[in-house]
């Protein structure tokens, strides 16, 4: 798996390009406009100090990166294809049909989709046995998580190859047992997001209050342990058993709504104004740099504690 094609070079596509280059892959990227090449190179340069520190690398090999506006050119020699086009069934079905026509028969086709069903995305793709979803998290160049979701026609040999491939680029693949809309992580994120929008809509708190309620509480724990292990500790010495006895009845209380509120003009404006206020005039690029430095330091620290917890 040496030659990788990245199809679509927005937030996620450029993130994959950087991670692949940092792991000595040859990357050919496809997008519709040659102007995007400059944007990617400037993103590689912005992120390299962080990427280099996390993966203990020396120099970025820019010569291993090429850009094309021909889909066929990008795909024909690729061993692995990472699709990162907009989240839209119609667009992805058409694109996967084209990718299938040009790809080598044994190359793996992987979509970065956040929640679409692989069997539908690949319904018109040649040889769907080698197709999967690999849903990453932003920033892809720093975060190790990736959800691998098979479609109904995916063969386990390709799934295993993909798992090995993502491990080789310092990722920890989560093997989803069968396809479901939203996969695992986005179902959890979406539930939180819907509740947050209800709270804003009904005027109980600001975007900053809600962010703080995560940042200073569950968020600090979540980078080391998820909901289940956290709640196991919440049950005291008896762990999850006592936790369920004590808090089980709360499942029947009307704490959550889950059905999303209408994204009205008023709600959108509260969310946009709220996050603008939280940004304190800092650009997205500056906030991204602060986040990236933090994520590198945090992962280095986490390794120390992860070893104690998971071994
Ligand atoms: N943004 C996130 O946080 C995030 C996280 C995980 C997964 N994803 C998934 O990654 C994929 C890409 O999302 P994004 O946030 O990078 O979007 P984006 O809008 O930032 O980038 C999309 C890119 O695709 C290109 N494009 C448009 N039509 C195309 C086509 N027909 N063929 C090829 N390229 C095309 C655009 O020019 C653009 O560069 C989506 O499936 C999304 O759900 C996004």
Mean pLDDT of 220-234: 94
Superfamily for 3-175?
Answer: NAD(P)-binding Rossmann-like Domain (3.40.50.720)
Q: Say yes or no to pLDDT of 311 above 80.
A: no
Ligand 1 centre to CA of 243 (Å) is 41
Residues of each domain in the chain carrying CATH 3.40.50.720: 3-175
Q: Say yes or no to pLDDT of 60 above 80.
A: yes
pLDDT reported for residue 307: 86
| 278-296 pLDDT, tens digit each | 999 999 999 999 999 999 9
State how far the Cα of 15 lies from the Cα of 142, in Å rounded to an integer.
Answer: 9
Q: Say yes or no to pLDDT of 301 above 90.
A: yes
Query: 130: which residues sit within 8 A by CB, 6+ positions away?
Result: 105, 106, 107, 108, 109, 154, 155, 158
Q: What is the mean pLDDT of the chain?
A: 96
State how far the Cα of 308 lies from the Cα of 111, in Å rounded to an integer.
Answer: 34
pLDDT reported for residue 143: 98
Residue 254: pLDDT band by 50, 70, 90 thresholds?
A: confident
Residue nearest to atom 34 of ligand 1 (CA): 8
Q: Token pair of 22, please?
A: 């940092």
Residue 297: pLDDT band by 50, 70, 90 thresholds?
A: very high
- What is the torsional sign of CA 189, 146, 215, 278? negative
Phi, psi of 53 (to 5 degrees): -70, -45
Ligand 1 centre to CA of 23 (Å) is 22
Mean pLDDT of 258-282: 95
From 40, 82, 85, give the residue whose CB has the most ligand 1 atoms within 8 Å, as the site to mutate: 85
Ligand 1 centre to CA of 7 (Å) is 9
Among 145, 280, 31, which Cα is nearest to 17's?
31
pLDDT reported for residue 257: 86
| 189-226 pLDDT, tens digit each | 999 999 999 999 999 999 999 999 999 999 999 999 99
Residue 93: pLDDT band by 50, 70, 90 thresholds?
A: very high
Domain at 186-280: CATH code:
1.10.1040.10
State how far the Cα of 137 lies from the Cα of 142, in Å rounded to an integer.
Answer: 9
The number of CA neighbours under 13 Å toward the Cβ of 171 is 27
Q: Say yes or no to pLDDT of 258 above 90.
A: no
pLDDT reported for residue 81: 98
Residues with CB under 6 A from ligand 1: 7-13, 31-32, 84-87, 91, 95, 112-114, 135-136, 138
Residues of each domain in the chain carrying CATH 1.10.1040.10: 186-280
Pick the atom of ligand 1 nearest to 94's CA: 31
Ligand 1 centre to CA of 101 (Å) is 21
pLDDT reported for residue 264: 95
């Amino acid at each position: 798996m040496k030659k990788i094609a990245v199809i679509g070079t927005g937030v996620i596509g450029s993130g994959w390009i950087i991670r692949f280059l940092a792991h000595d892959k040859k990357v050919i990227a496809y997008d519709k406009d040659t102007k995007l090449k400059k944007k990617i190179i400037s993103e590689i340069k912005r992120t390299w100090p962080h990427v280099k520190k996390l993966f203990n690398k020396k120099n970025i090999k820019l010569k291993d990166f090429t850009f094309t506006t021909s889909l066929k050119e990008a795909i024909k020699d690729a061993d692995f294809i990472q699709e990162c086009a907009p989240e839209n069934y119609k667009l992805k079905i058409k694109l996967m049909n084209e990718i299938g026509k040009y790809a080598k028969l044994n190359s793996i086709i992987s979509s970065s989709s956040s929640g679409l069903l692989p069997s539908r995305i690949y319904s018109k793709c040649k040889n769907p046995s080698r197709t999967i979803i690999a849903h990453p998290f932003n920033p892809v160049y720093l975060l190790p998580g990736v959800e691998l979701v098979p479609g109904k026609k995916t063969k386990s040999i390709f799934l295993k190859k993909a798992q090995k491939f993502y491990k080789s680029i310092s990722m920890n693949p989560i093997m989803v047992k069968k396809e479901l809309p939203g996969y695992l992580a986005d179902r959890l994120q979406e539930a939180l997001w819907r509740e947050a929008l209800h709270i804003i809509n009904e005027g109980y708190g600001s975007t900053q209050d809600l962010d703080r309620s995560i940042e200073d509480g569950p968020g600090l724990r979540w980078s080391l342990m998820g909901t289940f292990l956290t709640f196991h500790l919440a049950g005291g010495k008896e762990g999850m058993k006592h936790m369920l006895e004590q808090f089980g009845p709360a499942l029947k209380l009307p704490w959550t709504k889950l059905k999303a509120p209408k994204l009205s003009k008023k709600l959108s404006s509260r969310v946009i104004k709220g996050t603008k206020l939280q940004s304190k005039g800092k650009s997205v690029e500056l906030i991204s740099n602060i986040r990236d430095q933090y994520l590198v330091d945090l992962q280095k620290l986490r390794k120390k504690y992860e070893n104690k917890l998971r071994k």
